[in-house]
Amino acid sequence: MDLTTNYLGLKLKNPVIIGASNLVTDMKMLRALEENGAAAIVYKSLFEEQINLEQLQMQEDMEEYANRNAEMTTLFPQDIYETGPEEFLMHFKEAREALHIPLIASLNAVFDDTWYEWAKKLEEAGADAIELNFYNNPREFDMDGRAILREELDVIAGVKKAVNIPVSVKLSAFYTNPLYVFREMDKKGVDGLVLFNRLFQPDINVQEEKMQFPYSLSNEQDNRLPLRYAGMLYDQLHCDVCANTGIFTGEDVVKMLLAGADAVQVVSTIYKNGPQQIKKIIEDIELWMAGKKYDTLDDFRGKLSMKNVKDPFAYRRAQYVDILMRSAEIFKQYPVL
């Protein structure tokens, strides 16, 4: 079976990419992911808050003993670098040197200059592509959604100018019309869309009456939203589409490919099942293809996309109405009455 696929201009040996997570900070795990068949790895995200906080902490350390006497203004040389972000780059370079598969950098910034500066630094550190980790956490009532989109489109254009490697965008689904957003980003020249970013939501501990922030892994039911949009986007844009969230098995990957995705990203299934799960996913894809007599991914990619599916209701409003009209069928599965 030929499982090769093209994503972001990179030829991957199969469509399974490891998404951004803390898994990749362990060099032993990093090598295990590659050995078990991962086609590419997205390194954990670098956040602007992380950059600024570490720079502030360094500045405070540098000034702690300032002006202890008239002749001693500092204990540190003036050209010392902020070690936090530079240390991140150092670990990224180590990961790049340890791997033989593509390594994609992930970046989440706030200010334009930070996006451009650190995208360039990550390129210089050896990144094969940049994944812009976009999300906006609404907290102001007077913030216009159109202004948020314009800002994101400007960031894409600016990063594309700053680097010479492919640029993808990892997005949330919380746009009024995601299809319009995807098309506008495609017009700006983005090389790929990752659908979707899994955002961490706060919870409340009712016994202690305080906020808590659990680390929640995805489950297999979460893959239906990226599946839907992968099917709607197939052959509609110039950029590639990578499905993310709730992808655990080879069957899940096959679903995304049938819908039209170019590749997938997995994380939660590795946390739950270990790096050997990648090998099983690939084996299951090959077994399915053999049973269907498919030789390549392109033989069936997009077969059940909105463009190619024969069911006229599959990707339309009528699908939702049809499900509601048949809602009594749920009692056959859950006979509570």
pLDDT tens per residue, range 286-304: 999 999 999 999 999 999 9
The predicted model gives 82-111 an average pLDDT of 88
CA distances, 87 to each of 26, 49, 55, 92 (Å): 15, 15, 12, 9
Q: Tens of pLDDT along 233-257?
A: 999 999 999 999 999 999 999 999 9
Listed residue (123, 111, 103) closest to 44, CA to CA: 103
| Number of residues that make up the chain | 337
Residue 211 clears pLDDT 70, i.e. is over it:
yes
Residue 57 clears pLDDT 60, i.e. is over it:
no
- pLDDT for 107 equals 95
- pLDDT for 73 equals 42
The predicted model gives 210-232 an average pLDDT of 89
Q: Do residues 43 and 291 lie in contact, with contact meaning Cβ atoms separated by under 8 Å?
A: no
Residue 141 clears pLDDT 80, i.e. is over it:
yes
Return d(Cα 110, Cα 323) in angstroms, integer.
41
Structure pTM?
A: 0.86
Strand partners, 194: 170, 242
Q: Tens of pLDDT along 4-32?
A: 999 999 999 999 999 999 998 899 999 99
Dihedral of CA atoms 165, 109, 179, 304 in degrees, nearest 10, equals: 60
Q: Tens of pLDDT along 113-124?
A: 999 999 999 999
Tell the burial category of 74 from Cβ atoms under 10 Å away from its Cβ (0-12, 13-18, 19+): middle
- pLDDT for 32 equals 97
Which backbone phi and psi does 149 adopt, to 5 degrees? -65, -45
Ordered by where they begin, the domains of the chain are: 5-310 (3.20.20.70)
- pLDDT for 69 equals 46
